Amino acid sequence: NAGVMQNPRHLVRRRGQEARLRCSPMKGHSHVYWYRQLPEEGLKFMVYLQKENIIDESGMPKERFSAEFPKEGPSILRIQQVVRGDSAAYFCASSPPMWAAQENEQFFGPGTRLTVL
Amino acid sequence: AQKVTQAQTEISVVEKEDVTLDCVYETRDTTYYLFWYKQPPSGELVFLIRRNSFDEQNEISGRYSWNFQKSTSSFNFTITASQVVDSAVYFCALPNNAGNMLTFGGGTRLMVKP
């Protein structure tokens, strides 16, 4: 059973470009979470999605950031008009449906490291 | 609001020393879980342990042990006979009651020197 997949692992963008980060949850998992880790800091929650629905986006910056989890395909975290301050590691996690979840477990992907030049 | 504090930002030890990483948390929930993750230099997050608030017994896994004290809201992590491969950043985390958001501490960077 493959784990959570994220691609690309490393992404370099120039200021003003768009960054698209992809996350494929574990098989059978219908819940996806995105976290951001700024350099030398802990992970901060950004958004929680279920298929075709954003459940909690309380950690998302109000502008330039959006996330989706379509019926088919991976979850996408999209950052428009990137700035240097967006440089960070972005982690995706997934979990099974809540009725099947055990002890709030979330399974993390390897992360995407975004560098904005 | 939930909060996790890891007061030690960086610890340096010599191989074979024991080291304890502190974690103090705040939550209004009466039942909850706590997690520890390891982030080696390669950057991925490695799950170490999950404990629930019902069980205050210490947990031991090889050279790793965890001391959960509900009375002081602490969940400390001890590595016995540390090794160079233990060098990493270690995070303590607390989920919200709905389980849809993990609050992470700031992490403790452990450096084990040969």
| Residue in chain B nearest A49 by alpha carbon | B100
B84 touches chain A (CB under 8 A): no
Per-residue model confidence as pLDDT tens digits over B61-87? 899 999 999 999 999 999 999 999 999
Nearest CA in chain A to B43: A110
Question: To probe the interface with B, which of A104, A108, A113, A115 has the most B CB atoms within 10 Å?
Answer: A104
CA of A36: which chain B residue's CA is closest? B104
Phi, psi of A106 (to 5 degrees): -125, 135
- Residues 6 or more apart in contact with residue B95 via CB below 8 angstroms: A104, A106, B32, B33, B35, B101, B102, B103
Q: Is the pLDDT of residue B20 over 90?
A: yes
Lowest mean pLDDT among A32-41, A83-92, B47-56: B47-56
Residue A41 reports pLDDT greater than 90: no
What was the pLDDT predicted at A84? 95
- Taking residues A39-54, report their average pLDDT: 91
- CB contact set of A56 (below 8 Å; sequence gap of 6+): A47, A48, B100, B101
Mean pLDDT of A10-32: 95
Q: In whole angstroms, give the CA distance from residue A19 to residue A116.
A: 9
Q: Token digits for A17? A: 């470009």
**Three-class DSSP category at B85:** helix
pLDDT of residue A36: 97
Which residues of chain A does B91 touch, with a Cβ-Cβ cutoff of 8 Å? 42-43
pLDDT, tens digit, 9 for 90 and up, residues A77-107:
999 999 999 999 999 999 887 655 555 678 8
Chain A segment 32-51 residues within 8 A of B by beta carbon are 33, 35, 41-45, 48
Does residue B2 belong to the interface with chain A, where contact is any CB pair within 8 Å? no
The sign one gets for the Cα dihedral B37, B38, B42, B43 is: positive
